[in-house]
Structure 1
Amino acid sequence: MDNVSFIKLFFLSGLNETMNSRVALFSLTLLCYGLVLLVNVSLIVIIILDKKLHEPMYILLCTFCMNGLYGTAGFYPKFLIDLLSPAHVISYSGCLIQALVIYSFACGDLSILAVMAYDRYVAICRPLQYHSIMSKKRLTKLVCFSWLTPFCIIATNIFLTSRLKLCSPYIARLFCVNWIIVELACFPAETTVNNIVAYITIIIYVFHGVFIVWSYMYLIKTCVDSVENRAKFMQTCVPHLTSLLTFLLTVIFDIMLIRYGSNDLPQAFRNFVAIEFLVIPPIVNPLIYGFKLSKIRNRIIFVTIKHK
């Protein structure tokens, strides 16, 4: 039992320097989370209720929004409680679950974007075969892949972390981060397997990103000579590219801060960079798709006029 952690609670120290403005932060966070719930649930309900939207692209979009709700549920409720509490603590098991939820959400977003890129490739480059390729059976498999694969990969990382003996209960963040928990291990030599699996995970999702970029470069090349394909690309692919760019920028900023950031930077700035992938994409993505995709936009306008 030597490798079992005796730590029962973790102390989250990311809020220590910003508690003077906790009422304003609580109000802003509550507003932000309410907006996340509103835009994502609205889009999900519209897609589910409108049979005309029961197409692969919109079902994948529905999956995208559900993943956003899943990931933000792992952060916002606990963060709101912390803003009203004098002590910012989380149980050992709760910390591991939070890390699992937040990072499987982030990896899930990239997986769903990869599936969306494949869907757009088939729709534009092989339109006559689209419905046979993107059948209900294959769509179900792709949705399961985009959810279950990230969950299993991150769960493997979390399981390896749970086997480590930890020597410190202090996490200098607003939420639990797997790599920080690994750094708290008493014997660095024990973390070799964790580091190997972490690097494998990074490589897997770098390949996801490469596949997405290659897909859209190929689509752009294909659409250049066709007015019809250019219109289809602008209508359905631009939202995907915007979502991808938003996701990559928020994650890259966080990684750059972790790798090159200085402790002299304001705590509030470091906190925002750390959580921006939980704030910006879950709000921006549904709005982009809602305004850009004509079928969804028309449905929203119809519902709005009907209830006036």
Structure 2
Amino acid sequence: MENNTYPPYFNLTMFVNIGNYRYPTFVLCLLLYAFIISANLVIILVISREKTLHEPMYIFILCLSVNSLYGSAGFFFRFLKDIVSDAHLISRSSCFTQIYVIYTYASYELTILGIMAYDRYVAVCQPLHYHNKITPKMVFKLIAFAWIYPAFSVAACVYLSSRLPLCGNKIPKVFCANWPVVKLSCVGTGLNNLVGMLVSTTTVFLPLAFVLYTYIRIFLVCRKSSSEFKGKVIQSCLPHIITFVNYSITVFCDVALSRINLEELNPFLAVILSLEFVVIPPILNPLVYGLKLPEIRKLILRMLSCSKHDKQTKPQK
């Protein structure tokens, strides 16, 4: 009865049997993960090494890249193993660890996007007060809040889920998720639902609402301003808008998947939609900020040209 109530393993049931295609799929996903690591590391190195980029906006971009590495590591290490495995069992401790990592990754993304929206709001709507409000001390406080609050709030959700007696061990996902585990409970989950709703409201819906509010205010300011000013605002805010819209869509897909019967969906479509949540943002973020912001783009090109020049001038043995 103990093993049935607290199963030592969970079974990830959404994996599709693709036969010998598993090995090309493994290579493709490994290359994808290598690209995520490389692209985000480039952003981190460029911002860390270049003193001219030690400004609030670029520090927040660096935090996004660090979070992308964190979240993708929590997903890909296990996912790559499952691709080439016949059984998709994951230990109880590993499952709850993955839930914690992926959910904190999602929360960090939204809280960071929220403080980035505040930074853009002050820069556009209150430019004369920008350096008084967005001080290094304030940046530190905002980043600390963006990391600490989700860490503790998600930990509370995971702890409550880990204490539930379960009547099954099948999770219809390609990675461990909190809601599918809660649905396996043999007892009432009122407290889990209450805490989950509170955490979702404070780490998902409030940041989303705040970002929308700031951009409405920015839009109202731009409507009365010159074309040159509008161009500068668009150049500065467009990468953040693209990142925000992309992440909102991926979060919506993941929430929608958790609330419907996945057996009614095409299995390949279900897998693709579930992967969006943990794959698309870590790929898109460095591309958007590396290509759209001229300061970062110029420094990346300079680094690449210097690396190429060093190779060409290296003396031959």
Provide the TM-score with structure 2 as the length reference: 0.92
Task: State how far apart, in whole Å, the 1-side matches of 2:262 and 2:8 are.
Answer: 30
Task: State how far apart, in whole Å, the 1-side matches of 2:278 and 2:249 are.
Answer: 12
Q: Taking every aligned residue pair, what percent have the same amino acid on both sides?
A: 38
Determine whether 1:211 maps to 2:210.
yes
State the match for 1:195 in structure 2. 193
The answer to whether the 8 A contact 1:12-1:171 is kept is yes
State the match for 1:32 in structure 2. 32
SS of 1:15's equivalent? coil
State the match for 2:312 in structure 1. none
State the match for 1:143 in structure 2. 143
Task: State how far apart, in whole Å, the 1-side matches of 2:20 and 2:168 are.
Answer: 26
Letter in 2 for 1:211: F
Task: State how far apart, in whole Å, the 1-side matches of 2:101 and 2:207 are.
Answer: 20
Task: State how far apart, in whole Å, the 2-side matches of 1:186 and 1:64 are.
Answer: 38
State the match for 1:225 in structure 2. 224
The answer to whether the 8 A contact 2:172-2:262 is kept is no
State the match for 1:294 in structure 2. 294
Pairwise CA distance, 1:251: 1.5
The answer to whether the 8 A contact 2:125-2:217 is kept is no
Pairwise CA distance, 1:229: 3.1
Letter in 1 for 2:200: I
Task: State how far apart, in whole Å, the 2-side matches of 1:275 and 1:103 are.
Answer: 14
State the match for 1:108 in structure 2. 108
Q: How many residues align?
A: 306
Task: State how far apart, in whole Å, the 2-side matches of 1:107 and 1:19 are.
Answer: 36
Tell me how large the CA RMSD over aligned residues is.
Answer: 1.9
The answer to whether the 8 A contact 2:117-2:214 is kept is yes
Task: State how far apart, in whole Å, the 2-side matches of 1:132 and 1:19 are.
Answer: 60
Task: State how far apart, in whole Å, the 2-side matches of 1:28 and 1:307 are.
Answer: 27
SS of 2:10's equivalent? strand
State the match for 1:125 in structure 2. 125
State the match for 2:155 in structure 1. 155
Moved over 4 A (4+): none
The answer to whether the 8 A contact 1:104-1:154 is kept is yes
State the match for 1:239 in structure 2. 239
Bigger Cα displacement from structure 2, 231-240 vs 14-23: 14-23
Letter in 1 for 2:9: L
Task: State how far apart, in whole Å, the 2-side matches of 1:9 and 1:19 are.
Answer: 24
Task: State how far apart, in whole Å, the 1-side matches of 2:121 and 2:159 are.
Answer: 36
Task: State how far apart, in whole Å, the 1-side matches of 2:224 and 2:301 are.
Answer: 33
Q: What are the ranges of 5 or more consecutive residues in structure 1 without an aligned counterpart?
A: none
Deviations, residues 141-166 of structure 1 (Å, cap 9, x unaligned):
11111111112111110011111111
Task: State how far apart, in whole Å, the 1-side matches of 2:151 and 2:122 are.
Answer: 26
Pairwise CA distance, 1:255: 2.3
Letter in 2 for 1:218: R
Letter in 2 for 1:197: V
Pairwise CA distance, 1:29: 0.9
SS of 1:303's equivalent? helix
Deviations, residues 260-281 of structure 1 (Å, cap 9, x unaligned):
4552322111011011121111
The answer to whether the 8 A contact 2:114-2:211 is kept is yes
Bigger Cα displacement from structure 2, 69-78 vs 129-138: 129-138
Q: 1:82 to 1:226 in 2, by over 3 A?
A: same
Deviations, residues 90-136 of structure 1 (Å, cap 9, x unaligned):
11111001001101111111100000000001111122221221111
Give the alignment of 1:2-17 within 5 angstroms. Answer: 5-17=5-17
Task: State how far apart, in whole Å, the 1-side matches of 2:299 and 2:237 are.
Answer: 20
Bigger Cα displacement from structure 2, 251-260 vs 136-145: 251-260
The answer to whether the 8 A contact 2:10-2:95 is kept is yes
SS of 2:102's equivalent? helix
Letter in 2 for 1:271: V
SS of 1:90's equivalent? strand
Task: State how far apart, in whole Å, the 2-side matches of 1:236 and 1:75 are.
Answer: 31
